[in-house]
């Protein structure tokens, strides 16, 4: 499979699922060309609603639709959907409305547009809400399974997608399950837990580490809420060291979730890699290098963490 | 006379907009070209400001609420001397203060971080009220996109502004200009969520409303004069504009909302902006060394 953006895989999945299930509707806020629901709208014009640049209204309308049995996918850039936090908090989470919130253009990986368009705190925000799960697929295969799962899943979900292309990382026979992680590579010196685009970078980093005699286990944590406690404890119980890697603020994301869990069940040093401070404009490569999220940066942080 | 000077500056700024977007390889030409006559008139015909003292407390404030049009703002700020024009081609590059959307902490001259649509009017209300409270004569100009006014926060501010600060500090130091180019991101505004009737909507919220051609500098000046003479309320100016104005292949086409021109397209656009025919272009460039340099730089970029 060639590399593909998870937003593109999402758009394709919706087309297929929408043909089989007419409960599925899409809602957009003037970004349907970017969130990739645009083709769904062409194929099912009566089930696609572009509400204009009005994200709060979009989230609320989605909640109402969900209460009548529709399965609404409410889509915008991650920062703009989750930016309507208080509406999500009451109309979606507290109401327990079966809304699928979709945040595309997550992370500094969007590059040149700069901080105002980067979803960098979305995981932290949604993670604090009861009822809503958070899933971030790492490649095309996984995205399509996640979207199919989201349709079946009863209850609100936040799906975090990328603008940039993602290299395939999951094996062809992989089956996504909510609350389950996927060990992509076995190792015994350190556990690398990543989500989204950085999963591939961790696999590359693991190769670099191997040539330095460090054996890294790499886990794809597509499910950020709920965490896969079992896989987490099994892996870090073996390696004794954990490094989390995500294209999200260093505060409150996957790293925060892992650290909180381990602090209670298996205290150990945790190294969190992510975005420090605000994001900024730049090319993806340059930004990933600056924040140490590229393979060499991850490998260097791991070595430092292991005192090697 | 004064108008001809402003028109000439606006032309130069249009050239810089295409130049910097081509070098950046991404960004928003349509809404930058629709707003540039307004920004030019403000910065070179109206504002009390000083590029050497960007934090002068009595300066007039401009809040570009439709922050994605920031190339237009950078072009006037550079022309006004806030930073060297050579820096324009660092737009959107790692480490540049010329962020893809306005960053107040990165570049002197930027009054507010925008880029998340719908927030600039509320900040402008706060600025206008704060200036009034401290007895400052400074004025506040807020520029909204038409699609942007679909945001709910805009209407919270719209409802508030004519009443906020009254009776002692009415916000008659605030002018809001709507860049009514009839296009948003996905499509034409009427196809997504029509704003009409715009004028009566804002009037019914308590605003004096004027309607002008946002590319006619004489009309922009007159509207700003009238706003300045208005006491007791902020003013709303509906400026009818053309998205992509000045570049035929960008005009009125939603495709050019958020797509940078390739170097060859930028050069073709620059030629049109300057009003030179294809046949006369090479000869013209021999007479205009500044444009020659920009074109050469774009040609070099195209070879990269
Ligand atoms: C809150 C928010 N939602 C979505 C966007 C993405 N976006 C950027 S520009 C744009 C369209 C803006 O249209 P308009 O206000 O008419 O601007 P103009 O035509 O002047 O470019 C959209 C939806 C954003 N920047 N902020
Ligand atoms: Mg517009």
Does residue A297 share a domain with residue A223? Answer: yes
CATH of the domain at A104: 3.40.50.970
A129 within some domain:
yes
Chain A residue nearest residue B189, CA to CA: A52
Residue B150 and residue A96: Cα distance in Å, rounded?
27
CATH of the domain at A232: 3.40.50.920
Which of A54, A80, A112 is closest, CB to CB, to B150? A54
Residue B161 and residue B23: Cα distance in Å, rounded?
40
Does residue A157 share a domain with residue A192? Answer: no
Does residue A17 share a domain with residue A155? Answer: yes
- What rounded mean pLDDT belongs to chain B? 98
Check: CB of residue A287 under 8 Å from CB of residue A201.
no
Q: What percent of chain B has pLDDT over 70?
A: 100
Check: CB of residue A108 under 8 Å from CB of residue A197.
no
Does residue A294 share a domain with residue A222? Answer: yes
Residue B16 and residue B36: Cα distance in Å, rounded?
11
A208 within some domain:
yes
Q: Which of B17, B184, B241 to mutate to test the pocket of ligand 1 (most atoms within 8 A of CB)?
A: B184
The whole-number pLDDT of residue A127 equals 98
A293 within some domain:
yes
- In angstroms, the separation between the Cα of residue A308 and the nearest Cα of chain B is 31
Interface contacts A/B by beta carbons within 8 Å? 93
Three-state SS annotation for B170-229 = CCCCEEEEEEECCECCCCEHHHHCCCCCHHHHHHHCCCCEEEEECCCHHHHHHHHHHHHH
The distance of Cα A193 from the centroid of its chain, to the nearest Å, equals 13
- In angstroms, the separation between the Cα of residue A50 and the nearest Cα of chain B is 6
Does residue A138 share a domain with residue A9? Answer: yes
Chain B residue nearest residue A50, CA to CA: B192
Check: CB of residue B145 under 8 Å from CB of residue A47.
no
The whole-number pLDDT of residue A8 equals 98
From the CA of A34, give the closest atom in ligand 1.
6
| B102-159 tens-digit pLDDT | 999 999 999 999 999 999 999 999 999 999 999 999 999 999 999 999 999 999 999 9
Active site residue A55: yes
Does residue A292 share a domain with residue A262? Answer: yes
From the CA of B184, give the closest atom in ligand 1.
13
Conformational region of residue B236, where left means phi above 0, alpha means psi within -120 to 50, and beta covers everything else: beta
Residue B278 and residue B102: Cα distance in Å, rounded?
36
B273: exposed, middle or buried (Cβ count in 10 Å: 0-12, 13-18, 19+): buried
- CB environment B58-81: b (16+ within 10 A), e (fewer): ebbbbbbbbbbbbbbbbbbbbbbe
Does residue A145 share a domain with residue A16? Answer: yes
CA of B238 to the centre of ligand 2 (A): 12
The whole-number pLDDT of residue A99 equals 98
Largest CA distance in chain B: 62
Chain A residue nearest residue B145, CA to CA: A53
CA of B180 to the centre of ligand 2 (A): 6
Pocket of ligand 1 (CB under 6 A): A 29-31, 53, 80; B 28, 30-31, 34, 66, 68-69, 115-118, 145-148, 179, 181, 183-185, 243, 257
Check: CB of residue A9 under 8 Å from CB of residue A164.
no
The whole-number pLDDT of residue A1 equals 83
- How would you write the pLDDT of chain A (308 residues) with one tens digit per residue? 899 999 999 999 999 999 999 999 999 999 999 999 999 999 999 999 999 999 999 999 999 999 999 999 999 999 999 999 999 999 999 999 999 999 999 999 999 999 999 999 999 999 999 999 999 999 999 999 999 999 999 999 999 999 999 999 999 999 999 999 999 999 999 999 999 999 999 999 999 999 999 999 999 999 999 999 999 999 999 999 999 999 999 999 999 999 999 999 999 999 999 999 999 999 999 999 999 999 999 999 999 999 98
A175 within some domain:
no
Q: Containing domain of residue A260, as a range? A: 182-303
Pairing of strands A157-160, A100-104: parallel
CA of B66 to the centre of ligand 2 (A): 9
* Residue A32 contacts B, CB cutoff 8 Å: yes
CA of A87 to the centre of ligand 2 (A): 26
Chain A residue nearest residue B153, CA to CA: A54
Give Cβ neighbours of residue A156 (< 8 Å, ≥ 6 apart): A66, A92, A93, A96, A97, A98, A99, A100, A101, A131, A132, A133
End-to-end C-alpha distance for chain B, whole angstroms: 42
| B189-228 tens-digit pLDDT | 999 999 999 999 999 999 999 999 999 999 999 999 999 9
The interface predicted TM-score (ipTM) is 0.96
H/E stretch holding A142:
helix A140-152
Q: Which of B69, B113, B182, B185 to mutate to test the pocket of ligand 1 (most atoms within 8 A of CB)?
A: B185
Does residue A136 share a domain with residue A12? Answer: yes
Residue A2 and residue B135: Cα distance in Å, rounded?
63
- Map residue B66 onto helix, strand or coil: coil
Beta carbons within 10 angstroms of residue A281's beta carbon: 33
> What is residue A106's DSSP assignment?
B
Does residue A22 share a domain with residue A159? Answer: yes
A173: exposed, middle or buried (Cβ count in 10 Å: 0-12, 13-18, 19+): exposed
Count of domains for chain A: 2
Does residue A280 share a domain with residue A203? Answer: yes
The two three-digit tokens of residue A140, written as one number: 């095309």
Residue B1: pLDDT over 70 = no
Mean pLDDT of B222-235: 98
End-to-end C-alpha distance for chain A, whole angstroms: 36
Contact residues, chain B, for A61 at CB < 8 Å:
none
Does residue A201 share a domain with residue A159? Answer: no
The two three-digit tokens of residue B21, written as one number: 């977007």
Which of A28, A34, A117 is closest, CB to CB, to B115? A117
* Residue A168 contacts B, CB cutoff 8 Å: no
State in words which class domain B2-303 has: alpha beta
Model's pTM, two decimal places?
0.97
Which of A38, A80, A286 is closest, CB to CB, to B116? A80
Ordered by start, the domain boundaries in chain B are 2-303
Give Cβ neighbours of residue B277 (< 8 Å, ≥ 6 apart): none
Among all chains, which residue has been given the structure tokens 């996109």?
B145
A111 within some domain:
yes
Residue A51: name the closest of A17, A26, A77 by CA: A26
């Amino acid at each position: 499979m060639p590399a593909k953006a998870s937003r593109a895989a999402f758009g394709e999945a919706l087309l297929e699922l929408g043909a089989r299930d007419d409960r599925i509707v899409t809602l957009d806020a003037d970004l349907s060309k970017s969130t990739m629901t645009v083709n769904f709208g062409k194929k099912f014009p009566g089930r696609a609603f572009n509400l204009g640049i009005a994200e709060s209204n979009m989230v609320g309308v989605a909640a109402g639709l969900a209460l009548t049995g529709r399965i609404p996918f409410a889509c915008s850039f991650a920062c703009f959907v989750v930016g309507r936090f208080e509406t999500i908090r009451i109309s979606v989470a507290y109401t327990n409305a079966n809304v699928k919130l979709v945040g595309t253009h997550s992370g500094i990986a969007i590059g040149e547009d700069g901080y105002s368009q980067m979803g960098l705190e979305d995981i932290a925000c949604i993670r604090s809400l009861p009822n809503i799960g958070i899933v971030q697929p790492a490649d095309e295969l996984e995205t399509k399974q996640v979207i199919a799962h989201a349709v079946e899943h009863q209850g609100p979900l936040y799906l975090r997608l990328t603008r940039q292309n993602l290299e395939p990382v999951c094996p062809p026979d992989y089956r996504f399950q909510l609350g389950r992680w996927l060990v992509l590579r076995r190792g015994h010196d350190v556990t690398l837990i990543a989500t989204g685009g950085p999963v591939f970078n961790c696999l590359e980093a693991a190769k670099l580490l191997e040539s330095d005699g460090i054996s890294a286990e790499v886990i794809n944590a597509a499910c950020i809420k709920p965490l896969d406690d079992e896989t987490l404890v099994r892996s870090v119980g073996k390696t004794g060291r954990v490094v989390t890697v995500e294209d999200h603020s260093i505060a409150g994301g996957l790293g925060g979730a892992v650290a909180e869990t381990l602090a209670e069940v298996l205290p150990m040093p945790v190294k969190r890699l992510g975005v420090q401070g605000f994001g900024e404009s730049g090319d993806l490569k340059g930004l990933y290098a600056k924040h140490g999220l590229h393979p060499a940066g991850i490998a260097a942080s791991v070595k430092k963490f292991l005192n090697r | 006379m004064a108008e001809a000077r402003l028109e000439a500056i606006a032309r130069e700024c249009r050239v810089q907009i295409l130049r910097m977007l081509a070098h950046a390889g991404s960004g928003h030409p349509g809404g930058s070209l629709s707003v540039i006559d307004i920004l030019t008139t403000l910065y070179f015909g109206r504002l009390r400001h000083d590029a050497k003292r960007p934090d002068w407390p009595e300066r007039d404030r401009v809040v570009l609420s439709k922050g994605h049009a920031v190339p237009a703002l950078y072009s006037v700020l550079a022309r006004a001397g806030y930073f060297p024009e050579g820096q324009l081609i660092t737009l959107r590059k790692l480490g540049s203060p010329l962020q893809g959307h306005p960053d107040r902490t990165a570049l002197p001259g930027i009054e507010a971080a925008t880029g998340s649509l719908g927030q600039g009017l509320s900040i402008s209300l706060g600025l206008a009220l704060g200036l009034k409270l401290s007895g400052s004569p400074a004025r506040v100009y807020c520029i909204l996109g038409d699609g942007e006014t679909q945001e709910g926060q805009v209407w919270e501010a719209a409802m508030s502004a004519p009443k906020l600060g009254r009776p002692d500090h009415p916000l008659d130091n605030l002018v809001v200009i709507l860049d009514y180019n009839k296009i948003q991101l996905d499509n034409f505004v009427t196809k997504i969520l029509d704003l009409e009737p715009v004028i009566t909507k804002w009037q019914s919220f308590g605003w004096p409303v004027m309607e002008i051609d946002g590319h006619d500098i004489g009309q922009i000046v007159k509207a700003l004069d009238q706003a300045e003479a208005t006491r007791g309320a902020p003013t709303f100016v509906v400026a009818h504009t053309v998205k992509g104005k000045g570049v035929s292949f960008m005009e009125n086409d939603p495709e050019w909302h958020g797509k940078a021109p390739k170097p060859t397209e930028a050069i073709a656009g620059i030629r049109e902006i300057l009003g030179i025919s294809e046949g006369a272009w090479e000869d013209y460039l021999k007479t205009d060394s500044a444009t020659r340099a920009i074109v050469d730089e774009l040609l070099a970029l195209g070879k990269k």
